[in-house]
Chains A and B, each alone.
Chain A
Amino acid sequence: EVQLVESGGGLVRPGGSLRLSCGASGSTFTNAWMTWVRQAPGKGLEWVGRIKSKIDGGTTDYAAPVKGRFTISRDDSKNTLYLQMNSLKTEDTAVYYCATANLYYDPYFFHYWGQGTLVTVSS
């Protein structure tokens, strides 16, 4: 069983930056594709982006609304996933979840989720 714990959320001014972290338990982190999903208040789930495992190339992919502003990285030695958010906009206000798949299944689907961390972008 994988447990994910996000941290780093808070209040930030438009145009500002914030870095979120997601700590993972278990020995499978190294082989896992890790994903960020967000949910604006009262809205649905929105895929933010993903980083593949290093064995699968370690590449990143991003949703159009965040491309060029957000950067996903990972530190396998610390079992930690990061989301660096720059040039934040009010529409980035959301609960941010990290999520990952069970390694026996397609990495595009999520079986493990963190509890989420709230990011509020407001002046």
Chain B
Amino acid sequence: NFMLTQPHSVSGSPGKTVTISCTRSSGSIASNYVQWYQQRPGSAPTTVIYEDNQRPSGVPDRFSGSINSSSNSASLTISGLKTEDEADYYCQSYDSSNQDVVFGGGTKLTV
């Protein structure tokens, strides 16, 4: 399987913008969708971005997703940071060859 690599941590001040990257080790990032999850301590993950760049209802438009084929990576951008955004964020995709699910290692966002 390929790997999805995320930075261990990122930080930003309230009101600022941060971007979390998710780099695919082999194969094209565009070949399968990427989904992003937010996980607060003691809670199950929740989806903040699906199908690369779609927001579920209820997720603020401060959250956006994109993919970049040149860097073979996906990105989660959070603008207008709020203290409530402080959480762990995970990217996830799957391997078409065997249908195995792949998670990134997770990024701790500190606001």
User: Contact residues of A with B, CB < 8 Å?
Assistant: 35, 37, 44-47, 50, 61, 63, 97, 105-106, 108-111, 113-116
Contact A108 B44 (CB under 8 A): no
Which one, B46, B50, B104, B106, contacts A109 given CB within 8 A? B50
Q: How far is the CA of A37 from the CA of B35 in the complex (A)?
A: 15
What residues of A have a CB within 8 angstroms of the CB of B35 in the complex?
109-110
List the count of A-B residue pairs having beta carbons below 8 Å apart. 58
Which one, B56, B99, B106, contacts A45 given CB within 8 A? B106
What residues of B have a CB within 8 angstroms of the CB of A61 in the complex?
98-100
25 contacts between A and B (CB under 8 A): A35-B101, A44-B88, A44-B90, A44-B104, A45-B37, A45-B45, A45-B106, A46-B103, A47-B100, A47-B101, A47-B102, A50-B101, A61-B99, A61-B100, A97-B45, A105-B50, A106-B94, A108-B32, A109-B33, A109-B92, A110-B37, A110-B92, A111-B56, A113-B45, A115-B44
- B61 on the interface (CB 8 Å rule)? no
Q: Given A47-B100, A106-B33, A97 and B44 touching (CB < 8 A)?
A: yes
Q: How far is the CA of A110 from the CA of B50 in the complex (A)?
A: 9
Q: How far is the CA of A107 from the CA of B109 in the complex (A)?
A: 28
User: Contact residues of B with A, CB < 8 Å?
Assistant: 32-33, 35, 37, 39, 44-47, 50-51, 56, 88, 90, 92-94, 98-106
Report the minimum CB–CB distance from A114 to chain B (whole Å).
7
What residues of B have a CB within 8 angstroms of the CB of A106 in the complex?
33, 94
Q: How far is the CA of A113 from the CA of B44 in the complex (A)?
A: 7
Which one, B45, B101, B105, contacts A108 given CB within 8 A? B101
Contact B33 A44 (CB under 8 A): no
What residues of A have a CB within 8 angstroms of the CB of B37 in the complex?
45, 110
